[in-house]
């Protein structure tokens, strides 16, 4: 094996080892406390990532949505958060410092964490004024919002709220999830004219005027409807992205 090939192999081995270590750290933080902080579970239901940090900026605990935000743009190293982009990391660290500063008054401006091939994550921080159940040493709540998450309200919520038929609700959910009318028609095995007719009725019943308006209305409803289920303390390893940059 040539020296260049050997160095590339060594680098790949080191990266895989570091990724495994960081994945283990994240899993441990995910289920670190015997009684998870209720606020983190609430944020999961709202599709928001939540990190609880101590006064040194060290991550004490996180939720499932926060775990899904790690690996592309936002990484975890030795239980501290950083951004892979240098300029973004400078802004992120300033955000954390301003939040942790006892003299801070005005809420720091949120930071857009750049990602390689997706829209940026929006990161915001809040100083906690009281102990958090399960994580008493937490001093800061860091929120992450992924703009590519498209929450969908359950069909029955739309039926009860707006009086939609099941077919109309399915069309509305398809629009809210970013599907074209052609794709919705193909999935439902109906003509495009039928989908357009359903959508026109949906606009009237929901008091919306466009697909963007409808999507916004449905997204607000979806945030009130928890969709995570099962054992939230166990994140499937296959779905976890590497948490450190190359």
| pLDDT at residue 162 tops 50 | yes
| pLDDT at residue 77 tops 60 | yes
| pLDDT value of residue 28 | 55
The pLDDT of 213-222, averaged and rounded, is 86
Residue 123: phi, psi to the nearest 5?
-115, 130
Enumerate residues 6+ apart whose C-beta is below 8 A from 128: 138, 139, 140, 141
The pLDDT of 92-116, averaged and rounded, is 86
Are the beta carbons of 64 and 230 closer than 8 angstroms?
no
Residue 52: phi, psi to the nearest 5?
-100, 125
| pLDDT value of residue 136 | 85
| pLDDT value of residue 36 | 55
Of 68, 84, 88, the closest CA to residue 26 belongs to 68
| pLDDT at residue 235 tops 60 | no
CA distance 53 to 71: 19
Of 26, 51, 57, 25, the closest CA to residue 39 belongs to 51
| pLDDT at residue 163 tops 60 | yes
Q: pTM above 0.75?
A: no
| pLDDT at residue 47 tops 60 | yes
**Averaged pLDDT score across all residues of the chain:** 80
Measure the CA angle with vertex 26, ends 118 and 146; round to 5°.
Answer: 25
| pLDDT value of residue 149 | 78
| pLDDT value of residue 226 | 58
Q: In the chain, what are the domains?
A: 3-149 (3.30.450), 155-222 (1.10.10.10)
Percentage of the chain exceeding pLDDT 90: 50
| pLDDT value of residue 105 | 64
CA distance 110 to 145: 11
| pLDDT at residue 180 tops 70 | yes
Q: Three-class SS of residue 53?
A: strand
Q: What is the DSSP string of 177-211?
A: TT--HHHHHHHHT--HHHHHHHHHHHHHHHT--SH
Question: Residue 153's pLDDT band (boundaries 50, 70, 90)?
Answer: confident
Enumerate residues 6+ apart whose C-beta is below 8 A from 154: 225
Are the beta carbons of 195 and 171 closer than 8 angstroms?
yes
Burial tier of 148 (Cβ tally within 10 Å: 0-12, 13-18, 19+): exposed
Question: With the C-alpha atoms ordered 37, 58, 46, 127, is the resulting torsion angle positive or negative?
Answer: positive
């Amino acid at each position: 094996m040539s020296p260049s090939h050997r160095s590339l192999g060594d680098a790949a081995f080191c990266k895989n080892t570091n990724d495994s270590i960081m994945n283990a750290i994240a899993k441990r933080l995910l289920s670190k406390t015997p009684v998870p902080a209720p606020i983190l579970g609430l944020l999961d239901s709202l599709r928001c990532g939540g990190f609880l940090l101590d006064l040194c900026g060290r991550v004490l605990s996180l939720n499932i949505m926060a775990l899904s935000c790690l690996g592309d743009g936002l990484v975890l190293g030795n239980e501290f958060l950083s951004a892979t982009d240098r300029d973004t990391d400078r802004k992120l660290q300033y955000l954390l410092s301003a939040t942790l500063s006892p003299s801070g008054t005005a809420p720091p401006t949120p930071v857009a964490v750049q990602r390689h091939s997706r829209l940026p994550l929006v990161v915001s921080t809040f100083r906690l004024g009281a102990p958090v159940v399960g994580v008493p040493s937490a001093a800061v709540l860091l929120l992450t919002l992924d703009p590519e998450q498209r929450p969908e309200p359950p069909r029955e919520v739309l039926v009860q709220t707006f009086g939609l038929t099941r077919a109309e609700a399915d069309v509305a959910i398809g629009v809210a999830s970013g599907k074209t009318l052609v794709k919705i028609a193909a999935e439902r095995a109906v003509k495009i004219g039928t989908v357009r007719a359903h959508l026109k009725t949906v606009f009237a019943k929901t008091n919306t005027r466009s697909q963007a308006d409808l999507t916004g209305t449905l997204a607000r409803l979806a945030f009130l409807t928890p969709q995570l289920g099962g054992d939230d303390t166990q994140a499937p390893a296959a779905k976890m992205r590497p948490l450190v940059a190359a």
